[in-house]
Structure 1
């Protein structure tokens, strides 16, 4: 308890610049933790929904029926949105008998690539902020430390005899800024690396689905073209 009180008193007695640095770092830490919780929930949900849809897709269900099920939902994301965009464009282009199977598939794949890009962008939301907090927080804290130590030594220059009791408190105040900087940076870096890996996994899963779905639609387009 005494240690906590001493740390609090050091923070309260720090110079205005060091206090501003600490406030910036603590704000960044709070915001990054809120984003970490939100991103963890969103990516876990995206992974779960992706697995469920893949199971449904490969269960042998008729694609038109699956499309109607997906379209009936108010909000569609992830692999479902790629399926919806691809099947919708395929059906629209396939109605035009003048179009070759290659032209139909080119338009279909283009629609799914656009959807894939949007989904990846959605999954990567807030990750740049976490990367920024993780990379610059230690330097912001170091700036506060350097500033505090500089002021401490400038104050010592005004006295004839310096003692450890005079040097220790201002230096301790300054070092707290570095500690807060590391406290903000470390969770942000760990979360950024974890979430980046999750996004990469989901992106690969989405890309593989686009290729597999394209092959299925291409076979349908070719067989339909041969029947004419």
Structure 2
């Protein structure tokens, strides 16, 4: 009898596709959701690495131009109305407000420094939103994917026990397929959650570093404009 049970169990297909096809509708939905979450997480991770690399490169290029000694008005004119990088947009916002703060006779409007700082803070906020876009999804996947997978596992084991009750048999050929299908849901949950958590921490650190560099540039630029305002007044 034991040999017959083992032979029957060995003839079962335990490939991932077979396990998915044999699963109940609820477990299939759970697996599909987890796979989609994993694919979307990886697309965000890859895109973020590309964006952060481009942001670092553009920041270095702009800082070289900014500290090259070129007059700020000429740099502003050269950028035109389409600044590309975050630092360029921060610079453009500050210079635009700087120019608007001068009357036609060359005198300054009151409160120019505060308006310049607010304009750059708005640009900083938008740059920060771009850097952090998508990271909340990674955090969500990392937090809930294991529980979604666990739900699929519990539901699959429930189905396995129902099959045992219907067949009134606890042999390996009856129990093994249902448990294997159920455990696949947990595996998919971990497959989605582990990379999401790892890269969320990595990308969050990179975003914080880029944001700190942008804030440092904004402070330095604000200081330069503040000296110019003091001289003008």
| TM-score computed with the length of structure 2 as normaliser | 0.89
Partner of residue 99 from structure 1, selected from 106, 109, 116: 109
Question: Which position in structure 2 is the counterpart of 1:211?
Answer: 219
Q: Where in structure 2 are there 5+ consecutive unaligned residues?
A: 1-10
How far apart, CA to CA, are the structure 2 residues paired with 1:16 and 1:121? 39
How far apart, CA to CA, are the structure 1 residues paired with 2:63 and 2:216? 11
Work out whether residues 90 and 104 of structure 1, in 8 Å CA contact, stay in contact via their aligned partners in 2.
yes
Partner of residue 200 from structure 1, selected from 197, 201, 208: 208
Question: Which position in structure 1 is the counterpart of 2:232?
Answer: 224
Question: Which position in structure 2 is the counterpart of 1:24?
Answer: 33
Partner of residue 185 from structure 2, selected from 130, 154, 177: 177
TM alignment of 1:42-53, pairs within 5 A: 42-53=51-62
2:198 is the alignment partner of 1:190 = yes
What's the offset of the Cα at 1:46? 0.8
What's the offset of the Cα at 1:13? 0.7
How far apart, CA to CA, are the structure 1 residues paired with 2:169 and 2:112? 86
Work out whether residues 24 and 156 of structure 2, in 8 Å CA contact, stay in contact via their aligned partners in 1.
yes
Q: Call closer, same or farther: CA 1:30–1:3 in 2, change over 3 Å.
A: farther
RMSD of equivalent CA atoms: 1.9
Q: Call closer, same or farther: CA 1:98–1:84 in 2, change over 3 Å.
A: closer
Partner of residue 47 from structure 2, selected from 38, 49, 61: 38
Per-residue Cα deviation, 1:41-79 (whole angstroms, up to 9, x for no partner):
11111111112111211121110111111125x352300
How far apart, CA to CA, are the structure 2 residues paired with 1:190 and 1:160? 45
What's the offset of the Cα at 1:92? 1.1
SS of the counterpart of 1:94? coil
| TM-score computed with the length of structure 1 as normaliser | 0.90
Q: Call closer, same or farther: CA 1:112–1:23 in 2, change over 3 Å.
A: same
